[in-house]
Amino acid sequence: MKKIFLWIAAIVTFASCEGFLDQVPRYNLTLENAVTDYNGALNVLNGMYSVVEDQSNLGGTIACRLSSQGGFYEYYTTEYNAAYQSNYGTSFWRAYYTLVNAANAAIEALSGLPDNKYPSPERKAEMIAEARCARAWANANLFWLFSHWWEADECEYGLLYRDKMANLGNLQVARLTVGESYTRLFEDLEAAIKTMPGFTSSRYLSREMAQVLKAKLLLYRGAMRGSSQDLEDALTLVLAVKGSAPATWAMEEEIGAMYAAGWNSKEVLWARYLGDKSLITNSEWDYSYNIGYRNTYHAIPDGWLKADPRYPLVMGNARAPETWDTSTQFAPVKLYHGGRYDTPNAPYTSYYFRRAELYLMEAELKARLDGYTVAEALAPLNEMRSKRTDPVLPALSAASKQAALRLIFQEIWVEQFLENGSEYFAALRFINDTDASPAQNKPWIYTLKQDVNFTENHYCWPIPEEELNKNARMIPNPGYN
């Protein structure tokens, strides 16, 4: 058992090694010996989740940066100004590919363990599907962050896809086209949807998470390309999840109680679990520190938030995060809690997916599709709002689909700001067709960042210089030196 634990730890620490993926992982040489029974299979699967726990760049840091990139949160100036350099994003690249590598190790080890070592062949298939879901989640985020995911299928700036554990013999890999990238992502997710168990805990991936991740990929692509088929397919998945998800995954009546519970809230489908940490704030610096001192937002979305009944519950006064600073800070207490000094072990977590987002997706999809009325499009949004009792959220109405989409865009910001980057991607696909400004009839990001000179190439980050130097087949993203 100790040998298995050390092997799992090697996966977690691999990303911090000098040279990253160009080093031969020692566990690659002993994989057959590391997983020899069902307990070993469980350990290698849990090793994937330890990567999510240990890699702080998979938490609030990336959510806050994406909010700045969308023009909402003004602290991260590099992201706000689209001033990425060639070495930008290396830590995020490493973190996600560490998870890809751990998932690939699990898939290989689980597949190689004989069926008679498992409780049943079905259990073996479930575990392999769970590892494929983890690989898909990591790759989807890499795709959204570092690739031209919004472009046509033939675009060459797709995903750098790895389906084997990295070693010196397979580092030289060409990136896929955008179309090929979607194909690989959907292959993993479809296998997960077919075989994975349903939701039991927000600490683990589930069939429902695979479904909503595929739906998000289709929604983002469909909205950017104007593809009704993508939107219809996404809606089918959303409605399937809504109709079959267990009752244990449900909206919280009190929004304050939801954030106080963190990853233990019944509303959370999947979150970054940190409950086994001795000092949780070490793994969520942005949430426990940065947003305490630095919480300025763009005037437009800030106005939406201040006019909303949720405002006094998600924003509030809390002690400064420094030991020497006893002043009171006004901060997003929904994530900051009491700050690093007063509440070092509060449930600081990134909400990868909450039940509320399912309703937001359904509303947006129906608003974008021709087969639904304005009232039908807003019905899921109002259903979500009706489930809150503290605060009470009144029903919304709109005179047109355009007005409904504007309400949905605002709701995404107010409900999810700083949680998982959703507001950034919304700023790319929602059009500001009402405000008279130079950015009118463009994606909302151009309204929120009218003072920034950027192009579509800046919707994603540059490929890190480290990867380009080590992988001769990797081509860089355009628009960067």
Instruction: Give 352-385 pLDDT, tens digit per residue.
Output: 999 999 999 999 999 999 999 999 999 999 999 9
Residue 453 has pLDDT above 90, yes or no: yes
Last residue of a domain, one of 348, 364, 386: 348
Q: Is the pTM here over 0.75, yes or no? A: yes
Give yes or no: residues 187 and 295 share one domain.
no
Tens digit of each residue's pLDDT (9 = 90 or more) over 288-338: 999 999 889 999 999 999 999 999 999 999 999 999 999 999 999 999 999
The answer to the question of residue 122 being in a domain is yes
Ranges of H-type helices in 262-400: 285, 291-293, 299-306, 311-314, 333-336, 339-342, 355-368, 374-386
Give yes or no: residues 190 and 327 share one domain.
no
pLDDT band at 435, cuts 50/70/90? low
The packing angle between helices 90-112 and 38-54, to 10°, is 170
Last residue of a domain, one of 348, 382, 403: 348
Residue 192: CB partners within 8 Å, gap ≥ 6?
Answer: 129, 130, 132, 133, 136, 205, 207, 210
Q: What pLDDT, on the 0 to 100 scale, is given for residue 16?
A: 41
Give yes or no: residues 291 and 191 share one domain.
no
Domain that holds residue 60: 2-196+462-470
Quick one: which H or E segment has residue 108? helix 90-112
Distance CA 47, CA 318 (A): 36
Structure tokens at 103: 């998932």
Give yes or no: residues 288 and 159 share one domain.
no
Q: What pLDDT, on the 0 to 100 scale, is given for residue 34?
A: 76
Tens digit of each residue's pLDDT (9 = 90 or more) over 233-257: 999 999 999 999 999 999 999 999 9
Give the Cβ contact number of residue 449 at 10 Å.
22
Give yes or no: residues 161 and 49 share one domain.
yes
Per-residue HEC secondary structure of 124-188 comes to HHHHHHHHHHHHHHHHHHHHHHHCCCCCCCCCCCCCCCCCCCCCCCCCCCCCCCHHHHHHHHHHH
Residue 276 has pLDDT above 90, yes or no: no
Give yes or no: residues 170 and 278 share one domain.
no
Instruction: Give just the sign of the alpha carbon dihedral 285, 287, 288, 292.
Output: positive
Last residue of a domain, one of 316, 332, 348: 348
Task: Give the number of domains in the chain.
Answer: 2
The answer to the question of residue 94 being in a domain is yes
The answer to the question of residue 124 being in a domain is yes
Tens digit of each residue's pLDDT (9 = 90 or more) over 99-151: 999 999 999 999 999 999 999 999 999 999 999 999 999 999 999 999 999 99
Distance CA 407, CA 434 (A): 12
Q: What pLDDT, on the 0 to 100 scale, is given for residue 9?
A: 44
Give yes or no: residues 168 and 294 share one domain.
no
The answer to the question of residue 265 being in a domain is no
Provide the CATH number for the domain around residue 10: 1.25.40.390
The answer to the question of residue 221 being in a domain is no
Q: What pLDDT, on the 0 to 100 scale, is given for residue 86?
A: 79
The answer to the question of residue 26 being in a domain is yes
